[in-house]
């Protein structure tokens, strides 16, 4: 990978806060993110699922959705199970399919890279990804 997903997660979470993307869920998200970032094992896993739940309530929160993708990669490295790879690929697909909604191209490229990694973890070939990339908008309006 050409970037550090942990650093990218922190930057995306800061942007989500600055943009006011989480409304009433901001305090809970901050608390869960702090636990996720500062711990490991079952405590971090529980915080991860709280963050994912918050994400389902804010599907248009672009920076927070980026954050969820990045922390899902972190979760894969902590617990390498198919469910995390599936979740990561789904989050990436949803994000990339919504590119016309103001996504940053650097973020989109990093998420394309993560998508390839999530899919590789599920046994999908790069040929599948190349075809997907051709069919997916590359940003802009």
pLDDT in tens, 43-52: 999 999 999 9
Token pair, residue 75, equals: 């979760």
Measured in Å, how far apart are the chain's first and last C-alpha atoms? 27
Share of the chain above pLDDT 90, in %: 74
Give me the long-range contacts of 89-98 (CB less than 8 A, separation at least 24).
89/115, 89/118, 89/119, 89/122, 91/65, 92/118, 94/59, 94/65, 95/62, 95/65, 95/66, 95/69, 96/136, 97/136
- Tally of CB atoms within 10 A around 77: 10
> What does the pLDDT read at residue 136?
47
Query: What integer is the mean pLDDT of 16-22?
Result: 97
Q: pTM of the predicted model, to two decimals? A: 0.85
Query: What integer is the mean pLDDT of 104-118?
Result: 92
Residue 63 burial (C-beta neighbours within 10 Å; 0-12, 13-18, 19+): buried
SS3 114: helix
Residue 52 burial (C-beta neighbours within 10 Å; 0-12, 13-18, 19+): middle
């Amino acid at each position: 990978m050409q970037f550090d997903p942990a650093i990218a997660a922190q930057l995306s979470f800061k942007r989500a806060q600055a943009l006011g993307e989480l409304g009433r869920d901001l305090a809970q998200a901050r608390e869960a993110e702090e636990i996720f970032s500062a711990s490991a094992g079952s405590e971090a896993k529980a915080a991860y699922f709280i963050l994912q739940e918050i994400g389902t309530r804010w599907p248009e929160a672009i920076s927070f959705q980026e954050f969820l993708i990045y922390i899902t990669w972190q979760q894969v490295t902590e617990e390498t199970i198919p469910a995390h790879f599936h979740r990561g690929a789904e989050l990436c697909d949803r994000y990339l399919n919504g590119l016309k909604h103001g996504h940053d191209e650097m973020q989109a490229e990093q998420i394309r890279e993560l998508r390839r990694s999530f899919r590789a973890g599920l046994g999908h070939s790069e040929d599948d990804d190349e075809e997907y990339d051709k069919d997916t908008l590359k940003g802009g309006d």
